[in-house]
Amino acid sequence: MHKQDISIIYTKSNLSDNTNWQVINDGVMGGLSEGYVGSSETGNTIFKGFVSTDNYGGFSSIKYTSNKRGISVFKYLVLIVKGDGKCYQFRIKDDISHRYSYVKTFKTSGVCETIKIPLNDFYPTFRGKKLDMPNFSGDTMEEIGFLIGNKTKESFSLEIESIFLEA
């Protein structure tokens, strides 16, 4: 693989300052879920906490906003993560002024794994509802994130080693 065939979005070596991640819990709607961002013993980012369905809650999320970048030469989003066996959403915004995101759910296995997702598999949603719009075009990216919201009370932990694009 050549250097131009991949584009690193996030790794512990290029962005180890976890303050770049913004946590958004369901408290914005009155919920009681609590999510946090920290560092693992190996220096990876950890997104962890507890999802509560009380008080109309049910999700925790993190997002990372960067400069808008052209990504049309890439076909895949690749995650290197260690999850807890639960399902998470990876979320993309092509423009942060849009209220909707493009999402794709993935299941973790409890061990460190590489998850490769075609960019055109990401579909548009707003507040959990799929929109009647085309899937992600893969032209630009300005924000990424993770969300857990499995409609159940549960603790969670997702360790993030790397996020990159691949041709």
Distance CA(154)–CA(58), nearest Å, equals: 9
Q: Which domain holds residue 134?
A: 3-166
Residue 8's pLDDT is 81
CATH number at residue 100: 2.60.120.430
Distance CA(158)–CA(163), nearest Å, equals: 13
Residue 34's pLDDT is 97
Beta-carbon count within 10 A of 112 CB = 14
Residue 11's pLDDT is 73
pLDDT tens-digit map of 139-160:
999 999 999 999 999 999 999 9
Q: State the total domains in the chain.
A: 1
Q: State how far the alpha carbon of 166 is from the alpha carbons of 75, 118, 119, 145, in Å.
A: 6, 9, 10, 18
Residue 113's pLDDT is 98
Residue 98's pLDDT is 96
CA 16 to chain centre: 16
Residue 14's pLDDT is 57
pTM: 0.93
Residue 13's pLDDT is 58
- Those residues of the chain that have pLDDT short of 50 are 1-2
